[in-house]
Each structure stands twice: as structure tokens, then as C-alpha cells.
């Protein structure tokens, strides 16, 4: 499929599957980065379904503390692929997030959109979901194509997922999430059998959820969240922090300002301090 066709699909569906996008050497770097994060007592780990058999780990902004993830994002083709797909020569990192499901029977990541948690607006934004492990479709990331062009729902409350995976995060102006899991047949859901190196590119406004694991399978994934030159700061309800927490951002930027801040390193063009000299 050529670039124009890929752009058309990403724009229309908010979802694009790219088989064999990353070489094994980049995945080795990712594996080392995940190992460093898991062994790093200083890196905060959120435990979904804490204390239950289905518990799994989520960690955010690993780039800040993990040289392997920095090298992956500065040096691999990830940012170049995004630059082509979202048609922006400048690419910034918003955040990255690991989803580490190692128990062999880890639970689902509840259905949600990412945009309610992110203080941004614009067209040129996309995330790349990368699994280190081969996965059957059932354990893959699942997405609802086209949902980025429809309603922006409230998020789910990560603290409450064991009791209610739809409990609203803000509980203010945004409509509550629909119960997609209870009515799967009413939604168009896509997912893929994954081989290491395959990636899923998706718009942060797309409804998505992460498959549980079964059969003793390990599922270690990272999502890198990137954006381009038309993206601006857009406030979110102040009652809850954004993800990641970005203290002071709302004091520096007002809605509509270009999303430029030391929190968000530029990946492309490669900054001078990252050039080989």
C-alpha cells in the first residue's frame, strides 16, 4: 500500500496496521528498555486490578528515565513513519506508555479514548502501539475504526477499573463511555494477529481497549504518542490530572497555543544535541 493510501485510511478510520514496520534490532532496544523500567524502583508503576490474578503493570513517560527508549525514539524509523503518515516534518513526543501483561492471565485494558486525558487538539497526532511478543488477535489491541470523528467521551477512572471499568474520570461535561465490552456485536471492532515488528498506528480519539491474555502468554507492549505541527494546547477539566501529569503546563500555555514545552521533546528534525558529531 502506498503512502497516500495509508494516509487516507488513517484519516478515515483513525487506525492503520503496518506489518513488519520495525526491525529486530529496534525491538531488542525496546526489550532492554522494558527490562530497565521493570527493575527501576524509582519509576512509578500503576497496577491495574491490583491484588487480583488479572493484575498488570502500566508505566508512563519511560522516555524520561530510560536511555534505550530515548535511542528508540530518536534513532529508529518510528518518528519518520509518523512524519510521513501525519504529513508533518516536525514531530514531537507527547508521551509513551508501557502495558506489561506477564501473568499469563492478565486482564483487559478497558475501552477508552486517549484524547480526554491529553490536553491537546489538532489533526496531526497519532500513537504507535508496538508489542514485543507475538499475539493472537484475541490478545491484541482492539479498536473501533472511525470513532475519532464521532463523540469524545469521558475517560474511565483507572483507580476504579476492578469495580466499574466505565466509571467516569472527570464526571463533568463529557458523556460517559458506552459499554462496548457488553455489546461487542453492536460495534465494528478491529484487531490483528501480531508478529514482532508489526505495529498499529491510531489516532488518540479512537475508541480502543487492550485484550486480556490467556494460555500463559506474555504481552509486553509500548505505545508512543507523537504529534505534528498543527497541534495546540487544549485545556481539560481541572478536577483531575491529565495523563501523564504535566504540572505547570496550564500556567505556561493557554488554549490554542502551539503545544511547545520542554515536556515534549522534538524528535524530528533530529535536534542538534542528538546528532552524531
Ligand X SMILES: O=C(O)CCC(=O)C(=O)O
Name the residues that contact ligand X, by CB under 6 A.
97, 99, 109, 114, 127, 129, 141, 208, 210, 221, 223
Residue closer to ligand X, measured from CB, 167 or 208: 208
- Report the residue number, 70 or 223, with the smaller CB distance to ligand X: 223
The nearer residue to ligand X, 97 or 198, going by C-beta atoms, is 97
Parallel, antiparallel, or unpaired: how do β-strands 199-202 and 91-104 relate?
A: unpaired
Which residue's CB atom is positioned nearest to ligand X?
Answer: 210
Partners of 225 in the beta sheet?
95, 127
Q: Closest CB to ligand X among 211 and 253?
A: 211
Please say whether the dihedral angle defined by the alpha carbons of residues 274, 132, 183 and 168, taken in this order, is positive or negative.
negative
- Min dist. Cβ of residue 45 to ligand X (A): 15
- Going by the DSSP 8-state scheme, the letter that residue 149 receives in this structure is G
Write out the three cell numbers for 143.
479498536
Q: Please state the closest distance from residue 200 (CB atom) to ligand X, in A.
A: 9
Specify the residue, 5 or 164, whose C-beta has the smaller distance to ligand X. 164
CB atoms within 10 A of CB 159: 12
Least separation in angstroms between CB 172 and ligand X = 22
- Distance CA(10)–CA(30), nearest Å, equals 25
Instruction: Report residue 183: phi and psi, to 5°.
Output: -130, 45
Q: How far is the CB of 272 from ligand X (least distance, A)?
A: 31
Q: What's the rounded Cα separation, in Å, for the pair 148 and 103?
A: 32
Least distance in angstroms from the C-beta of 114 to ligand X: 5
Amino acid at each position: 500500500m502506498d503512502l497516500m493510501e495509508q494516509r487516507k485510511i488513517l484519516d478515515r478510520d483513525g487506525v492503520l496496521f503496518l506489518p513488519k514496520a520495525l526491525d529486530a534490532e529496534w525491538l531488542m532496544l525496546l526489550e532492554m528498555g522494558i527490562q530497565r523500567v521493570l527493575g527501576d524502583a524509582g519509576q512509578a508503576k500503576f497496577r491495574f486490578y491490583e491484588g487480583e490474578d488479572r493484575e498488570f503493570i502500566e508505566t508512563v513517560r519511560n522516555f524520561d528515565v530510560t536511555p534505550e527508549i530515548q535511542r528508540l525514539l530518536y534513532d529508529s524509523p518510528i518518528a519518520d513513519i509518523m512524519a510521513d503518515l501525519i504529513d508533518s516534518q516536525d514531530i514531537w513526543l507527547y508521551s509513551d506508555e508501557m502495558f506489561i501483561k506477564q501473568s499469563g492471565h492478565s486482564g483487559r485494558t478497558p475501552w477508552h479514548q486517549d484524547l480526554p486525558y491529553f490536553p491537546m487538539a489538532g489533526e496531526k497526532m497519532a500513537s504507535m502501539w508496538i508489542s514485543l511478543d507475538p499475539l493472537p488477535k484475541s490478545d491484541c489491541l482492539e479498536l473501533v475504526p472511525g470513532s475519532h470523528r464521532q463523540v469524545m467521551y469521558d475517560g474511565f477512572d483507572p483507580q476504579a477499573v476492578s469495580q466499574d471499568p466505565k466509571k467516569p474520570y472527570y464526571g463533568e461535561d463529557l458523556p460517559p463511555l458506552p459499554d462496548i465490552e457488553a455489546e461487542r456485536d453492536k460495534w465494528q471492532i478491529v484487531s490483528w494477529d501480531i508478529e514482532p515488528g508489526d505495529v498499529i498506528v491510531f489516532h488518540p480519539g479512537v475508541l480502543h481497549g487492550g485484550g486480556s491474555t490467556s494460555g500463559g502468554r506474555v504481552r509486553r507492549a509500548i505505545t508512543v504518542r507523537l504529534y505534528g505541527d498543527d497541534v495546540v494546547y487544549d485545556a481539560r477539566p481541572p478536577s483531575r490530572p491529565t495523563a501523564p501529569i504535566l504540572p505547570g503546563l496550564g500556567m505556561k500555555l493557554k488554549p490554542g497555543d502551539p503545544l511547545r514545552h520542554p515536556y515534549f521533546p522534538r524528535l524530528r528534525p533530529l535536534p542538534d544535541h542528538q546528532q552524531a558529531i
